[in-house]
Each structure stands twice: as C-alpha cells, then as structure tokens.
Amino acid sequence: MTDMVYMMDLHIGEIERVLLETGLWDDTLIVFHSGNGGNIRPEDGDNNYPLQGGKWTNFEGGIRGPGFVTDGFLSQNMRGKKHKQ
C-alpha cells in the first residue's frame, strides 16, 4: 500500500507541476477522495484504525474516508478548512 500511495503522490505532483508551468493552475480544481475504507478480513491486511469496521459495514471505517480539494481556483476563505460532513 505504501508504494501505491508514493506513486500516486509522485504522479499528482507531476500533474501539478505541468499545470503551474503551463499557467493552467488558476483555472483548475483537483478533487481527490478515497474509497470507503479497507477490507477488514485478516487475509487482506487492511487496517482502518482508529476507525471501527471497514468495507460493507455501517461503522466509520466503512463509510468515512479522507479526501482533499486543491488548486489555484478555490476561494481564499475556503482554503485550509476541515469539513466533517
């Protein structure tokens, strides 16, 4: 899993670099969000700690996931805010 996160971070950084170099950053909105938690079967090796549950459950580990929005387009008053909806 760590390798996948590293590769995703590397390639998203590459997209950001191109957008900045081409002057398109201020007209771009990037939305990233995860799936709905990891599997909780022991053979899958996923871990949703500290959340309880995982995929196919109604616990937070199955319905709550991280995400972010970034760009040059987002208004200043929305930057750096954390929402729990």
**Mean predicted confidence (pLDDT) in 63-72:** 75
Which residues sit opposite 67 in a β-bridge?
Answer: 33
Number of domain units in the chain: 1
- What range does the domain containing 59 cover? 2-78
Model confidence, pTM: 0.56
Instruction: Return d(Cα 59, Cα 54) in angstroms, integer.
Output: 7
Domain presence at residue 30: yes
More confident residue, 83 or 19: 19
Residue 10: pLDDT band with limits 50, 70, 90: very high
Q: Tell me: the pLDDT tens digits for 20-32? A: 999 998 888 888 8
Domain presence at residue 10: yes
Domain presence at residue 74: yes
What b-and-e string marks burial along 22-58, b requiring 16 or more CB atoms within 10 Å of the CB?
Answer: eeebeeeebeeeeeebbebeeeeebebeebebbbebe
Domain presence at residue 69: yes
Range among 12-16, 26-30, 44-48, 60-64 rated most confident: 12-16
Domain presence at residue 32: yes
Taking a C-beta distance cutoff of 8 angstroms, is the pair 49, 81 a contact? no
Domain presence at residue 85: no
